[in-house]
A and B are shown apart, each in its own frame.
Chain A
Amino acid sequence: DIQMTQSPSTLSASVGDRVTITCRASETVDRWLAWYQQKPGKAPKLLIYTVSNLQTGVSSRFSGSGSGTEFTLTINSLQPDDFGIYYCQQYFTSPYTFGQGTRLEI
């Protein structure tokens, strides 16, 4: 199985900051990488797919980059509502696997 490792595990930031979360795959996932945001008691919400494509309705403050085994999610101008846990997911090959999550505290 492809292992997805995120860093950092926890991130504390302030409103207005720019933050970056990294996701590393144990082998190449080409560009088949998605990012989700999850808030307490809620289902994950798709933010970005295929590395850098913004899901409809998601703020342009979110952006993604990378390819192969290393990927980043960047959030510009952090807002209070951006708190939550962020997960990357590879869908290059099954079993589709997720990173362990990055908790973003505002």
Chain B
Amino acid sequence: QVQLVQSGAGVKEPGASVKVSCKPSGYNFIDYYIHWVRQVPGQGLEWMGWINPKTGNTKYAQKFQGRVTMTRDTSISTASLELSALTFGDTAIYHCARSTWNFHYFDFWGQGTLVTVSS
């Protein structure tokens, strides 16, 4: 069965960077895009961008341009999100999610990783 298992994160200080990883299983890693969606606790969902695991191509939401980097390592079938210059407003649960290459709705999601920015 399809699963996306996330790891990483924790508590970071303002100005630091954080890296969250996402390891899908149950399907061919390169056949689906990986998106990152964050959710401030108690609030809504915010799309951050996607990576094409086959090519490494990325597309980021304008809001995060310059601070976000999405990468993948096909040898270990893992996608990663790195967010730099953290502020208190980046405290959120970060989810990875899968989509087909042409229709960007999300049929499977990771369990979410809480990133807390605190001094």
Contact = CB atoms under 8 A, between A and B. Distances in A.
Interface residues of B, number: 22
Contact of A100 (B44, B61, B62): B44
Nearest to B50: A94
Which secondary structure dominates chain A's binding surface? loop
Given A43-B95, A43-B112, A96 B47 contact: yes
Contacts, number: 56
B44 A101 contact: yes
A47 to B, nearest CB: 10
A99 B44 contact: yes
Given A43-B109, A43-B112, A101-B44, A94 B59 contact: yes
A97 B104 CA distance: 11
Contacts of A55: 107
A44 B109 contact: yes
A44 B99 CA distance: 14
A72 interface: no
A49 interface: yes
A83 interface: no
Interface string A33-54: 0101000001111100110000
B111 A94 contact: no
A100 B42 CA distance: 11
Interface string B96-119: 010100011111111110000000
Contact of A98 (B46, B59, B112): B46
Contact of B63 (A91, A95, A99): A95
A95 B107 CA distance: 18
Contact of B61 (A36, A46, A95, A98): A95
A38 B27 CA distance: 24
A42 B109 CA distance: 10
Contact of B103 (A36, A43, A49): A49
Interface of A: 32, 34, 36, 42-46, 49-50, 55, 87, 89, 91, 94-101
Can you list the 6 inter-chain pairs with the closest CB atoms, starting with the nearest?
A: A43-B109, A34-B105, A91-B104, A98-B45, A95-B61, A96-B47
